[in-house]
């Protein structure tokens, strides 16, 4: 279903899948993804794809053995104003590096990586209470519920948050994170949190 935020309603997301091939081991592939959001400061999808195409030509034939090699290579071919493209290429190259070693990707950054990454359940800024989703998130083991706000009147946000809290009941350990996507100033956020 669509996701409403303070900035937009997203019905779909478009991105680019990035595959890095290893010349030494043709069966090895590294995978990444680039999903730009121009309204949040990234490049457009076309700019992202164009940057990835240009970077591909630049990196062909370069070798890399370490995370530092990947970083150095990215610094030479990726531009700061193309963060989604850089992310997609970095992820594909790092994934390839990890697969060469037959490691999970996290092992590149830690000798003892965790096998779990805690995430939050995302609740959009749609009108009406999302109490059922909140309770489902608690029952699924989520400790954080990220609630999009600032799409409409503050009274609507307050009503939704109250309904979510009521639906959760006395759920110790379940925290709500409000995400206004820049829709509130700092002072407005402080005032509204008090409500």
Q: Find residue 33's DSSP bridge partners.
A: 17
Give the range with max mean pLDDT: 35-39, 87-91, 99-103, 167-171. 87-91
DSSP at 137:
H
What pLDDT does residue 92 have?
95
pLDDT at 52 > cutoff 90: yes
Distance from C-alpha of 2 to C-alpha of 168, rounded to nearest angstrom: 23
Which segments of the chain does DSSP mark as H helices, in order?
Answer: 45-59, 67-77, 83-101, 131-139, 154-168, 186-194
Please state, as a whole number, how many other Cβ atoms lie within 10 Å of the Cβ of residue 50. 14
Distance from C-alpha of 153 to C-alpha of 184, rounded to nearest angstrom: 11
Share of the chain above pLDDT 90, in %: 29
What 3-state class would DSSP assign to 10?
A: strand
* pTM, to two decimals: 0.76
Q: Find, among 81, 114, 77, the residue nearest to 92 by Cα.
A: 77
């Amino acid at each position: 279903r669509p996701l409403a935020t303070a900035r937009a309603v997203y019905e779909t997301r478009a991105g680019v899948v990035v595959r890095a091939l290893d010349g030494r081991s043709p069966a090895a592939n590294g995978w990444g993804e680039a999903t730009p959001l121009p309204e949040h400061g990234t490049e457009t999808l076309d700019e992202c794809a164009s940057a990835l195409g240009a970077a591909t030509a630049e990196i062909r034939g370069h070798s890399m053995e370490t995370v530092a090699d990947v970083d150095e290579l990215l610094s030479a071919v990726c531009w700061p104003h193309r963060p989604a493209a850089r992310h997609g290429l970095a992820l594909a190259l790092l994934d390839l590096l990890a697969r060469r070693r037959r490691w999970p990707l996290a092992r590149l950054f830690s000798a003892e990586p965790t096998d779990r990454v805690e995430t939050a359940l995302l609740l959009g800024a749609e009108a009406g209470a999302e109490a059922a989703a909140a309770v489902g998130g608690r029952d699924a083991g989520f400790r954080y519920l990220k609630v999009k706000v600032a799409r409409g009147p503050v009274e609507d946000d307050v009503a939704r948050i109250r309904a979510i809290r009521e639906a959760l009941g006395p759920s110790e350990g379940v925290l709500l994170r409000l995400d206004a996507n820049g829709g509130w100033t700092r002072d407005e956020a402080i005032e509204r949190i008090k409500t």
